[in-house]
Every structure is written in structure tokens, then in C-alpha cells.
């Protein structure tokens, strides 16, 4: 288990991560969502030991991750910009990584080379953006890491490869108890992938929740009234979003599910339906609540 | 324990991996080194095989200079390349996430970088040394120990250059900064010392470029400069001996510093913040040093511009404008460097305090230089604190061998000549003479004139450059360029120190008879070669006699005799040496032993035949005009004084012989100028055509013209045909009057 404990990282005196705390369970996929510059990549780099802390700590199984060679040997960080040596091929890069990761598995490497159709002897520099990412994913999974950090993992991958990657990740989690921490701008990617999702904004955690289909303390409801309702009648709710078409009102409300449903029913609607909330909606509403709403930007 | 072993193995793996990845550029570097070293050496050998005399010419330490320079340049580039991964955010994401300790990551990379510099060097060095030895049978003597010594120093200096650059690399954000700052930091101290040297030379009266502290800083504070100095020293050293082993301690110290720098860099790398990678770092100590150098250099440059704009005057008049120009220069430099380092000028105004602090550091030095250098200008050592005085050999020029002026000769056991250009005097009389000269300079310092004195001064002008070796172990050097001084002081100097100087520096004292290939005699005017008749005496025996007599006579000649000869020379004795050098010595009347031999072997030397001279011109020039060695020089002085305009298209060049040697000029039209001058300014030039008068002048003139001779300022030019034949100093007025 990785625990990010009151972690702070500053760039030029300005906090990129500000006293953030997270708990990442083993054998799970942990999704990090956030606005641009929110600190997602910084957090991944910090977990990987690339960045040194300015406050707090990151612990893996109770031990600090920085300069922890044992932990690093069990972790692979796939950066948003894949690194490879100039003029090197996938084969040559595999030769590089196998020297440093004791968990390197040649069989996994060969199998992944079949899954991701890349020419292992060709120069990586000649690959497309998506192919470079595939190459690094092959290398990372071949190291059999206990912790896999994927920064913008699906960026540049076509839908087929995305699907393949998701399958491979799921397979590895099942086979080898791997923990994956993944960041993405594409919230939709997380819907069926992540066990836990955290949203961070301006270096702070906005939300951390299980991705079980339960929207937590956000309720999306559709109500129909006999007469056209007055928007003011919902003023006692913490309304995140409100739309009205004639006598039909659609609301997104922050609050406990049972309590909110009871209060809405108390308003005697002709019809009340609790709708499923997508992760994207949660993201948007939470970000709006954090002052990052599109309405403020435009 | 298992983890420790793992850690060790991974570092070795990284070391080998870096070596493997750099194999392409290492091969290229090996080839370039081959071109710089062995290739050039072999070509020289093959080309010169037929004329081969000495293997040292081809396989001495100097033959490895190309490899040495190549290794130093490679060290700078290799350190930049090797650490370039740490300046890439993408690469750092991979490297820092690897299960390697950061210190291991850094050391494995940089040790591999050093290996990539040294391995090709070793290969080429061995190749250049062993191939000729194996295949060229005529290689007889190779100073292996010296070559090994140079190799070890080259390795040490290359490692030092590498370590400095790697130390810079840890603190900056881009490889461009690594290369540029590494280059500058490698030479930072010599650059600062050099700039200060130029400032002090212009502003500090008596400042010597031998200033011990600054010179040491310039030589020893940079491995690159030190290696260059070692190379030059090696090429000038006695290659048969082991004197090339100098600077060994300095090399050793630099090697130790390199090791410490690498350790310090490793420590810094462990704490290095990954986020600085890929971005210029204007706030590091390295950037601070770069700014100081830039501000100081630009400020001093502006002072030079200021001085050139002022175009002369006294130093005290330069002070305020120089300070203003310094500040302007420093501000411009600060703006440029800050703009370059910060990629813009946005925050520049906020850094005015930093600018003020940096500018003030340099300004203190400038003010110090313009106000006497904290007593530098007036400091004179006491005689009892001085161990010796070192001066350039030519300051006491005597009967030198031609081509060797300024050098003190030494001979080794194989009869080879070596020369050093300084002369150490440790006699109390000599030391006192120099202290008196020094005091005279100091007393005359006000008003202090610019270092470049007017071409002609009212007082006697002298240049002096001397270094006291103090008993405290320190050196104290002073250099006065064309400074005005009382003539009597110069005379006292000559009287006080010339005997010891002559004893130590006169080349002829060390010539052996077997070195002499020819001795000949000319008349007192130095014209023609007279017949020698040795009779039954073997020529070589006679040469030995002449040499012994000459050495005896010259050693017994007093300074007073040299300064104020009451007669002209008796004749000129020429000598050619087997080494290719030659000498023409004026035989003075008090050279009794030599004259006895001349009477015996060449009695015609007394007969002066001036019949071929059809005219002579006598100059009666003002006393304060100083000394002249040729008619052309005299004419130049006269025409420059606007006494008469230069004749058009007649004289376009003149020849100065600073050492008082008479020169035969070949300007075919000299007589025309002299005629013109004699006609226009008879009070300055008198033309003599009477054959008897010319003969009298030729027979009685004082012929030996020395820079420090204090003769009446009367000269005669004897003209043969249309050519200037000989310029002579005349002993007295009556000859002219008659």
C-alpha cells in the first residue's frame, strides 16, 4: 500500500502539491484526475522518487519511497513523454531495463511484443507517438512491477490499443497483484478501469472515492411537477447543476442519497427518478465547486 | 548484504552501459586523436627520415602535444555529453525511477565519461610511442620517463577539466549551460587574473606582468592553462634532462581537487532537484560567478575605451571617467548576461541590488588600481631583505653572440646550447644598484604619466623590468616602461651591477676553443676582413689563444671603461661558432692580451683606410634628443620634430636598433637627404668632404656605441658612394671645428 501523507512539493517556491494525502490500496487501479497543472504528474514523479519532497512523505508498506531501492525495484514509471536512448531499438531498450529490474520477465516481454505489434529491431525514434508509448508499456510490464505508474497512459493510443492495454493491465493485476496508478485527462477512460479515483486541483485533493458506480454524495435527479416549478424552491439544496424544461427539472445535488431523495419526495413531484451519475459529471461538478467550472472560464 | 551486492552490480552495469552507448563518439574521438598525434608524428618522421639527426625531434614529449590538447578538449565535451541525460526531464523520469542510488547513477556515468576520454588517449599515446620504436631502427634515444611524465599530467589535467565541468553540470539545468559555463569556469580564475593584469598594467605605475600572485593564478588556477604551460615548458626544457618534471605538485594537487570536485558533485547530485532540468538556472552560484566575470571584464573593457577616447594625459585625470565607464560597462554586461540566463529582462530591475554588489566588487579593484594599489607603487624593499635581483639578460648587453640577445647561455655536457632570458644577480652592490634605480622610479612617479609614454621625453628614458627574490620567499616584480629617469641613476646602475651581470651572462666566457670555427678581423670601422697570418702556429691553436686572451681582457674590463671609452676601438674581431652563432667584438685599446695577438697575427688592423668615403656628415643635435644608432633614425627624429618636412617618396622606413648596435642601412638615397639637410639646416648637419678630415674622423672616432654610453651627442655618418657607410660617435668638438 502506498500512502501519500501530507505531501508537499514546491516549484520556485510555489506549491505544485500542497499538503496532499492519499491512500492507494494494493492490487488495484488508482485513477488520478485533475485539471491541467493540477499536480497529477508531479504526484506520480514524487511516488517514483524523481522529485524530492518539500514536506510530508510518501510511504510504501510503511517505508519512505525516496532512495528506497527495494521499492524502486518493484516500481516502473511510464512518463507522459516516453524516454529511450537515441537510435536505440525496443530490443536494445529491453537490454537496458533488464539489467536494473530484477523482476524482468523475458516471456512477458515476448508475449507483449506479440500483443502490441511493434518491430522490436526498428529504431524507436522512427515510431509514432502511440507506438513509442506502446514500446514503453511493453518494457514496463516486462519488468513485472508491483507498482506501475502510468502518466497519461492512453494518450496517443488508438481505441484498439487502449482496449488491449486495459486488458493487459487487468490481467497483470489478476496474475501478479500489481497496483496501477494512472493519470488521464480523459475521464471516460477511468469509468471501467479504476477501482479508486481521486480528483486533485491546484495541488490539493478535491475528491477521493471508490469507483463503484455509486456517486457518493452527489445525486442526480429528474423531477416532474404539475405546474412549472420555481427554481427558487430548490434553494435549500446544494445544487451543482439545474436544468428545467417546462415542468421537468433535472438537478445535480450534493448531499446524502437517502436524505436528498426524501427531501425531493417531500416536494410532491409527479415523477422522481434518480439518474446514474457518470465520472465525467462528477469530475465537472467537483471542479466547478473548486472554482474550475467552464462557466467561469468562458 | 544481498541488496548491497545488487546495488554494486547495477552500478557496474550502468558504467558498462554508458561505455557501450558512447562507443560511437569514443571511436570518433579516438580517430581525431590519431590525426592530432600519431598521424602528424609519423608524417614528420617519414618526411624527415633522410635528414634525421636526433630522435628527440620526433619522439620527445612535445610530439605528444596534439594528444594532450585533444584530451583536454574531449574532457570538456565528454563531461557535457555524459551529464546531458540529467538535463532532460524525460530522461530523468527514467533514470531517477531506476532502482539505483543517485550517487551510483552519477558516478557510474561520470567514471564512464572519464574512461571514454582516457582510453583513446592511452591507445594513441602507446601507438605513437611504440610503432616508431618497433619499426624505425634509427630511433636511438627516446626520453621515456619524460613522455610518461607528460602522459600522467595530461591524464590528471583531463580528469580535472572533466571534474570541473561535471561539477558545473550538476548545478545547471541545460547542457548548453554545462558546456558554456564549464568552459568559463575552467578558465575563470585566469580570465579574472588576466583582466586584472591588463587593468593594473594601464593604471598602476611600475606594475609588472610578473606579479607573482596574478601570474600564479593565471597558470595554476586552471588545469587547461596549467597543461598549456607544462607543454610550453616541456618544449623549452632541456630535453636531454628530466627538467620537464616541473609542476608535478601542481598536477597532483589538481588531481586531488578533481577527486574532491567529483565527490562534491556526487553529493550535490544526490540533493539535486529534478525540476531544474531542462531550464536555465540563473540563480546558481555558477551563474553568479559568470556574472561577476562578465561585469568585471566588460567594465575593464569600457575603461580601455574611455582611456583611448581621452587619448592620453595623466592617470589621475582618467580616474573619474574610468569609474563612470566601468559602471556603464558593468551595467551593459549585467543586462546581457541576465537576459541570456533568465531568457528575458523581466526580472532584471528587481535585481539591482545584486548588480550593485557585483559592480562594487570590481569597482573596488579599479579604485585600488587607480590610487596606487594599496602602496604597490611606493613599496621598495630593503637591501637586507633581498636575496637576489633577476633582470632580463639584455639589460646589460655586452659582447653577445648574434641572435642570442636577451638570453643567458648554458651548456650541457654534450655541447648543446640552452638559454634562459633572465639573469640573477645576488651581489650586494648589484642589489643596491637596483634598489637605487627602483627608488628613482618611485620618486619620479608624480605626476604619473600613462603607461605609454610620449615617444620622446625631455629626460632620459629607460625601460626597466626586474624582480627581487626576497628572503621571505616571495618575489617582488616591477616594470617601468619608457619611464623618465635621471641619467646619473642609470649610470650608477651600470657601474654597480654590470660587472656581475657581465660575468654571469657574457656568452663568450663560456665558449670553448672547439666551438670556434673561424676567427677574422675587421678594421675599427668594421669594414672588410683583414688577412691573418698564423705562421707556424696551427690555426686551431691560434683560435684558442685569441679566445683565451679575449676572455681575460673582457673579464678585466671595468664598467667605467665600458661607459666612457677615451679612445675608439682598435678593430673588430669576428668569431663564428660551430653552432652557427657568430659574434663581432670591439677590441678596445685596453684589451692588451688580444692586441698582442693581433700584432702577432694581423698587424694591419691599425691601418684605417677611409679613402673610399667621399663624404661625412656630422650631426650636432640637441642633448635631450637621446641616443641614435643610425642616420635614418636621426633623420626620422629631425623630420618628426618638424624641423624640416620629409622629402617626398624618399624615406618610408627606418630601423631602430634598441640595443645600441650599429646597422648598415641600404637606403640608396640616404646621402641625398643628408645633402638636403646640410643645405637647409647647416647648424644641425655639417657636410665634410675633405679626405684628410674624413680620415682623421675615421681614425679617432669612438666607435662602440652603447645604449648606456654617455657620449657627446655628436655623430658622424660616413658615406661611401650613395650609401650610408657607418655612423660613429665622435670624441670631441675640435675634430669638427678643424
What φ, ψ does residue A68 adopt, rounded to 5°?
A: -95, 95
Domain end point (choices A160, A182, A210): A210
Q: Could you say which of B14, B91, B98 has the minimum Cβ distance to residue A72?
A: B98
**Would you say residue A248 lies in a domain?**
yes
Q: Which of B6, B98, B173, B274 to mutate to test the interface with A (most CBs of A within 10 A)?
A: B98
Contacts of B106 in chain A (CB under 8 A): none
Q: Which residues contact B529 (CB under 8 A, 6 or more apart)?
A: B520, B521, B522, B574
pLDDT per residue as tens digits for the range A61-71: 888 888 888 89
Q: Is A150 within 8 Å of chain B by CB? A: no
Q: Could you say which of A51, A73, A75 has the minimum Cβ distance to residue B275?
A: A51
Half-sphere exposure of B85 (CA within 13 A, CB side): 22
pLDDT reported for residue A82: 86
Q: Answer yes or no: do A77 and B10 touch at CB < 8 A.
A: no
Sign of torsion, CA B42 B46 B51 B54? positive
Alpha-carbon dihedral of residues A40, A41, A45, A47, nearest 10 degrees?
20
Q: What is the mean pLDDT of residues B283-297?
A: 83
Contacts of B96 in chain A (CB under 8 A): 48-50
Q: Is A14 within 8 Å of chain B by CB? A: no
Same-domain check for residues A63 and A122: yes
Tell me the β-bridge partners of B719: B615, B724
Q: Check: CB of residue A101 under 8 Å from CB of residue A76.
A: yes
Q: Answer yes or no: do A69 and B101 touch at CB < 8 A.
A: yes
Q: What is the DSSP string of B335-369?
A: HHHHHHHTTSSTTTGGGHHHHHHHHHHHHHHHHHH
Q: How many domains does chain A have?
A: 2
Domain end point (choices A210, A227, A261): A210
- The distance from CA B120 to its chain's CA centroid, rounded to whole angstroms, is 34
Q: Could you say which of A52, A69, A85 has the minimum Cβ distance to residue B99?
A: A69
pLDDT per residue as tens digits for the range B346-373: 676 777 887 888 888 888 888 888 877 7
**Would you say residue A136 lies in a domain?**
yes
Q: Is A100 within 8 Å of chain B by CB? A: yes
Same-domain check for residues A237 and A139: no
Choose among B8, B25, B9, B18: nearest CA to B109. B18
Q: Answer yes or no: do A69 and B94 touch at CB < 8 A.
A: no
Q: What are the distances in angstroms from CA A7 to CA A13, A15, A79, B98, B185? A: 15, 10, 20, 22, 38
Q: Check: CB of residue B466 under 8 Å from CB of residue B389.
A: yes
Choose among B291, B150, B285, B125: nearest CA to B228. B150
In chain A, whose CA is at the least distance from the CA of B84?
Answer: A85
- The distance from CA B133 to its chain's CA centroid, rounded to whole angstroms, is 35
Tell me the β-bridge partners of B718: B616, B726
What φ, ψ does residue A186 adopt, rounded to 5°?
A: -85, 95
Same-domain check for residues A225 and A141: no
Same-domain check for residues A65 and A179: yes
In chain B, whose CA is at the least distance from the CA of A97?
Answer: B98
Q: Which of A63, A72, A146 to mutate to test the interface with B (most CBs of B within 10 A)?
A: A72
Choose among B141, B133, B101: nearest CA to B9. B101
pLDDT reported for residue B731: 37
pLDDT reported for residue B2: 55
Confidence band, pLDDT 50/70/90 cuts, at residue B667: very low
pLDDT of A179 above 80: yes
Q: How many contacts (CB atoms, under 8 Å) link A and B?
A: 66
Contacts of A49 in chain B (CB under 8 A): 96-97
Q: Which residues contact B588 (CB under 8 A, 6 or more apart)?
A: B557, B561, B565, B567, B569, B570, B704
pLDDT per residue as tens digits for the range B524-574: 766 667 777 777 777 888 888 998 998 888 888 876 776 655 456 778 888
Cis check: omega of the bond before B447, within 30 degrees of 0? yes
Q: Is A99 within 8 Å of chain B by CB? A: yes
Q: Answer yes or no: do B274 and A96 touch at CB < 8 A.
A: no
pLDDT per residue as tens digits for the range B399-421: 444 333 334 444 443 333 444 56
**Which of B144-148, B166-170, B258-262, B664-668 is the least confident region?**
B664-668
Q: Could you say which of B7, B94, B96 has the minimum Cβ distance to residue A69?
A: B7
Same-domain check for residues A113 and A90: yes
pLDDT reported for residue B664: 35
Q: Is A79 within 8 Å of chain B by CB? A: yes
Q: Answer yes or no: do A99 and B100 touch at CB < 8 A.
A: no
Confidence band, pLDDT 50/70/90 cuts, at residue B733: very low
pLDDT per residue as tens digits for the range B182-222: 998 888 888 888 888 888 877 788 887 777 778 888 888 89
Give ∠ CA B511-B513-B519 in degrees, rounded to 5: 95
CATH number of the domain residue A240 falls in: 3.30.70
Q: Is A73 within 8 Å of chain B by CB? A: yes
Contacts of A102 in chain B (CB under 8 A): 6, 99
pLDDT per residue as tens digits for the range B212-235: 778 888 888 899 999 988 887 776
Query: Between B659 and B501, where is the model more confident?
Result: B501
Q: Is B522 within 8 Å of chain A by CB? A: no
pLDDT reported for residue B256: 94
Q: How far is Cα B85 from Cα B278, in angstroms, rounded to an integer?
A: 10
Q: Answer yes or no: do B90 and A79 touch at CB < 8 A.
A: yes
Q: Is B357 within 8 Å of chain A by CB? A: no
**Would you say residue A56 lies in a domain?**
yes
Q: What is the ipTM of this complex?
A: 0.84
Same-domain check for residues A201 and A224: no
Contacts of A99 in chain B (CB under 8 A): 10, 13-14, 17
Q: Is A67 within 8 Å of chain B by CB? A: yes
Structure-block grid coordinates of residue A230: 420555481
Q: How far is Cα A2 from Cα A24, in angstroms, rounded to an integer?
A: 5
SS3 (DSSP) at B553: helix
Q: Could you say which of B21, B91, B96 has the minimum Cβ distance to residue A49?
A: B96
Same-domain check for residues A143 and A268: no
Q: What is the DSSP string of B417-467?
A: EEEESEEEE--HHHHHHHHHHHHHHHHTTSSPPPSS--SS-SSEEEEEEEE
SS3 (DSSP) at A25: coil
Q: Which of B275, B278, B284, B342 to mutate to test the interface with A (most CBs of A within 10 A)?
A: B275
Q: Is B96 within 8 Å of chain A by CB? A: yes
Q: Could you say which of B6, B17, B274 has the minimum Cβ distance to residue A96?
A: B17
Same-domain check for residues A95 and A240: no
Q: Answer yes or no: do B96 and A50 touch at CB < 8 A.
A: yes
pLDDT reported for residue B596: 93
Q: What are the distances in angstroms from CA A224 to CA A232, A268, A270, A271, B158? A: 15, 9, 5, 5, 84
Window 699-728 of B: residues touching A by CB (8 A cutoff) are: none
> CA of A258, closest CA in chain B: separation in Å?
46
Q: Is B463 within 8 Å of chain A by CB? A: no
Q: Is A45 within 8 Å of chain B by CB? A: yes
Q: How far is Cα B620 from Cα B714, in angstroms, rounded to an integer?
A: 5
3-state helix, strand, coil in chain B (%, to 5): 60, 10, 30
Same-domain check for residues A226 and A139: no
Confidence band, pLDDT 50/70/90 cuts, at residue A139: very high
Same-domain check for residues A147 and A231: no
Structure-block grid coordinates of residue B330: 558593468
Same-domain check for residues A205 and A225: no
Q: What is the mean pLDDT of residues B507-521?
A: 79
**Would you say residue A146 lies in a domain?**
yes
CATH number of the domain residue A178 falls in: 3.40.50.300
Q: Is B105 within 8 Å of chain A by CB? A: no
**Would you say residue A69 lies in a domain?**
yes
In chain A, whose CA is at the least distance from the CA of B96?
Answer: A50
> CA of B472, closest CA in chain A: separation in Å?
52
**Would you say residue A290 lies in a domain?**
no
**Would you say residue A166 lies in a domain?**
yes
Same-domain check for residues A191 and A227: no
Q: Is A76 within 8 Å of chain B by CB? A: yes
Confidence band, pLDDT 50/70/90 cuts, at residue A214: low
User: Mean of the per-residue pLDDT values for chain B?
Assistant: 74
Q: How far is Cα B512 from Cα B663, in angstroms, rounded to an integer?
A: 28
**Would you say residue A58 lies in a domain?**
yes
Q: Is A72 within 8 Å of chain B by CB? A: yes
Which residue range forms the structural domain that includes residue A117?
Answer: 2-210
Q: Answer yes or no: do A51 and B274 touch at CB < 8 A.
A: yes
Pairing label, strands A75-78, A147-150: parallel
Contacts of A85 in chain B (CB under 8 A): 21
Alpha helices in B272-314 (DSSP H): 285-310
In chain A, whose CA is at the least distance from the CA of B94?
Answer: A83
Q: How far is Cα B606 from Cα B598, in angstroms, rounded to an integer?
A: 9
pLDDT reported for residue B315: 64
Amino acid at each position: 500500500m502506498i500512502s501519500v501523507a501530507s505531501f508537499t512539493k514546491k516549484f520556485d517556491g510555489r506549491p505544485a502539491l500542497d499538503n496532499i494525502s492519499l491512500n492507494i490500496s494494493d492490487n488495484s487501479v488508482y485513477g488520478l484526475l485533475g485539471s491541467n497543472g493540477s499536480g497529477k504528474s508531479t504526484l506520480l514523479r514524487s511516488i517514483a522518487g524523481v522529485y524530492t519532497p518539500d514536506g510530508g512523505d510518501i510511504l510504501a508498506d510503511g517505508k519512505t519511497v525516496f532512495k528506497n531501492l527495494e521499492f524502486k525495484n518493484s516500481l516502473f514509471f511510464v512518463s507522459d513523454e516516453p524516454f529511450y536512448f537515441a537510435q536505440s531499438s525496443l530490443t536494445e531498450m529491453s537490454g537496458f531495463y533488464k539489467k536494473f529490474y530484477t523482476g524482468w520477465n523475458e516471456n512477458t516481454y515476448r508475449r507483449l511484443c506479440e500483443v502490441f505489434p511493434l518491430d522490436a529491431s526498428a529504431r524507436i525514434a522512427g515510431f509514432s507517438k502511440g507506438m513509442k508509448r506502446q514500446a514503453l508499456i511493453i518494457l514496463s510490464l516486462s519488468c513485472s512491477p508491483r507498482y506501475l505508474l502510468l502518466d497519461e497512459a492512453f494518450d496517443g493510443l488508438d481505441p484498439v490499443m487502449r482496449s488491449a492495454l486495459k486488458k493487459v493491465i487487468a490481467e497483470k493485476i489478476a496474475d501478479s497483484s500489481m497496483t496501477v496508478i494512472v493519470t488521464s485527462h480523459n475521464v471516460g477512460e477511468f469509468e471501467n478501469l479504476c477501482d479508486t479515483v481521486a480528483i486533485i486541483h491546484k495541488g490539493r485533493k478535491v475528491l477521493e472515492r471508490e469507483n463503484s458506480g455509486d456517486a457518493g454524495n452527489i445525486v442526480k435527479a429528474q423531477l416532474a411537477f404539475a405546474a412549472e416549478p420555481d427554481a427558487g424552491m430548490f434553494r435549500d439544496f446544494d445544487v451543482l447543476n439545474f436544468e428545467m424544461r417546462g415542468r421537468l427539472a433535472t438537478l445535480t445535488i450534493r448531499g446524502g442519497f437517502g436524505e436528498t431523495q426524501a427531501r425531493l419526495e417531500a416536494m410532491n413531484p409527479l415523477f422522481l427518478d434518480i439518474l446514474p451519475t457518470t465520472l465525467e459529471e462528477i469530475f465537472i461538478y467537483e471542479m466547478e465547486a473548486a472554482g474550475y467550472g467552464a462557466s467561469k472560464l468562458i | 548484504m544481498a541488496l548491497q551486492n545488487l546495488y554494486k552490480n547495477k552500478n557496474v552495469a550502468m558504467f558498462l552501459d554508458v561505455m557501450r552507448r558512447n562507443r560511437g563518439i569514443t571511436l570518433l574521438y579516438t580517430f581525431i586523436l590519431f590525426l592530432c598525434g600519431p598521424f602528424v608524428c609519423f608524417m614528420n618522421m617519414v618526411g624527415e627520415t633522410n635528414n634525421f639527426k636526433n630522435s628527440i625531434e620526433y619522439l620527445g614529449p612535445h610530439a605528444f602535444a596534439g594528444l594532450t590538447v585533444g584530451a583536454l578538449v574531449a574532457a570538456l565535451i565528454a563531461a557535457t555529453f555524459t551529464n546531458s541525460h540529467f538535463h532532460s526531464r524525460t530522461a530523468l523520469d527514467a533514470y531517477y525511477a531506476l532502482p539505483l542510488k543517485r550517487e551510483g547513477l552519477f558516478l557510474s556515468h561520470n567514471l564512464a565519461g572519464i574512461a571514454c576520454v582516457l582510453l583513446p588517449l592511452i591507445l594513441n599515446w602507446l601507438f605513437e610511442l611504440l610503432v616508431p620504436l618497433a619499426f624505425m631502427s634509427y630511433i636511438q634515444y627516446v626520453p621515456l620517463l619524460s613522455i610518461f611524465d607528460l602522459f600522467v599530467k595530461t591524464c590528471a589535467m583531463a580528469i580535472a577539466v572533466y571534474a570541473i565541468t561535471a561539477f558545473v553540470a550538476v548545478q545547471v539545468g541545460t547542457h548548453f549551460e554545462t558546456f558554456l559555463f564549464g568552459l568559463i569556469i575552467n578558465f575563470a580564475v585566469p580570465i579574472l587574473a588576466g583582466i586584472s593584469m591588463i587593468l593594473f598594467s594601464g593604471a598602476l605605475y611600475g606594475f609588472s606582468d610578473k606579479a607573482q600572485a596574478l601570474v600564479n593564478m593565471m597558470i595554476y588556477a586552471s588545469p587547461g592553462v596549467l597543461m598549456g604551460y607544462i607543454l610550453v615548458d616541456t618544449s623549452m626544457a632541456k630535453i636531454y634532462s628530466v627538467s620537464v618534471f616541473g609542476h608535478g605538485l601542481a598536477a597532483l594537487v589538481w588531481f586531488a581537487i578533481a577527486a574532491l570536485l567529483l565527490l562534491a558533485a556526487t553529493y550535490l547530485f544526490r540533493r539535486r532537484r529534478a525540476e531544474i532540468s531542462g531550464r536555465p538556472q540563473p540563480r546558481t552560484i555558477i551563474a553568479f560567478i559568470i556574472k561577476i566575470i562578465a561585469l568585471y571584464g566588460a567594465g575593464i573593457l569600457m575603461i580601455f575605451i574611455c582611456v583611448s577616447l581621452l587619448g592620453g594625459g595623466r592617470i589621475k585625470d582618467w580616474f573619474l571617467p574610468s569609474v563612470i565607464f566601468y559602471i556603464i560597462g558593468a551595467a551593459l554586461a549585467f543586462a546581457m548576461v541576465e537576459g541570456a540566463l533568465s531568457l528575458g529582462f523581466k526580472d532584471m530591475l528587481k535585481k539591482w541590488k545584486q548588480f550593485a554588489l557585483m559592480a562594487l566588487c570590481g569597482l573596488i579593484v579599479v579604485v585600488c588600481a587607480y590610487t596606487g594599489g594599496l602602496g604597490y607603487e611606493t613599496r621598495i624593499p630593503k637591501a637586507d631583505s633581498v636575496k637576489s635581483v633577476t633582470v632580463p639578460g639584455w639589460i646589460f648587453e655586452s659582447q653577445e653572440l648574434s641572435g642570442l640577445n636577451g638570453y643567458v647561455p648554458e651548456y650541457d655536457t654534450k655541447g648543446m646550447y640552452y638559454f634562459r632570458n633572465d639573469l640573477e644577480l645576488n651581489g650586494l652592490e648589484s642589489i643596491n644598484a637596483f634598489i637605487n634605480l627602483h627608488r628613482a622610479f618611485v620618486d619620479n612617479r608624480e605626476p604619473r604619466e600613462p603607461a605609454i609614454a610620449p615617444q620622446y621625453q625631455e629626460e632620459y628614458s629607460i625601460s626597466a623590468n626586474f624582480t627581487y627574490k626576497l628572503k621571505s620567499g616571495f618575489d617582488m616584480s616591477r616594470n617601468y616602461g619608457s619611464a623618465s629617469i635621471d641619467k646619473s641613476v642609470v649610470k650608477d646602475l651600470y657601474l654597480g651591477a654590470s660587472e656581475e651581470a657581465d660575468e654571469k651572462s657574457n656568452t663568450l666566457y663560456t665558449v670553448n676553443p672547439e666551438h670556434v670555427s673561424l676567427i677574422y678581423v675587421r678594421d675599427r670601422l668594421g669594414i672588410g676582413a683583414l688577412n691573418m697570418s698564423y705562421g707556424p702556429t696551427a690555426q686551431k691553436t691560434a683560435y684558442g689563444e685569441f679566445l683565451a686572451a679575449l676572455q681575460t681582457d673582457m673579464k678585466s674590463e671595468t664598467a667605467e671603461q665600458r661607459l666612457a671609452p677615451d679612445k675608439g676601438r682598435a678593430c673588430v674581431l669576428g668569431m663564428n661558432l660551430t653552432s652557427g652563432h657568430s659574434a663581432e667584438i670591439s677590441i678596445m685599446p685596453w684589451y692588451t692580451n688580444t692586441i698582442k695577438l693581433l700584432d702577432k697575427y694581423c698587424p694591419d688592423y691599425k691601418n684605417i683606410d677611409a679613402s673610399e668615403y667621399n663624404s661625412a656628415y656630422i650631426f650636432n643635435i640637441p642633448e635631450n634628443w637621446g641616443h641614435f644608432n643610425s642616420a635614418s633614425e636621426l633623420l626620422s627624429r629631425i623630420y618628426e620634430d618638424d624641423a624640416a618636412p620629409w622629402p617626398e617618396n624618399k624615406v618610408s622606413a627606418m630601423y631602430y636598433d634598441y640595443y645600441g648596435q650599429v646597422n648598415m642601412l641600404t637606403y640608396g638615397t640616404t646621402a641625398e637627404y643628408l645633402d638636403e639637410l646640410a643645405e637647409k639646416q647647416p647648424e644641425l648637419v655639417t657636410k665634410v668632404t675633405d679626405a684628410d678630415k674624413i680620415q682623421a674622423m675615421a681614425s679617432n672616432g669612438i666607435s662602440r656605441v652603447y645604449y648606456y654610453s654617455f657620449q657627446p651627442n655628436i655623430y658622424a655618418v660616413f658615406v661611401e658612394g650613395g650609401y650610408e657607410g657607418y655612423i660613429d660617435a665622435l670624441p670631441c668638438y675640435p675634430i669638427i671645428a678643424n
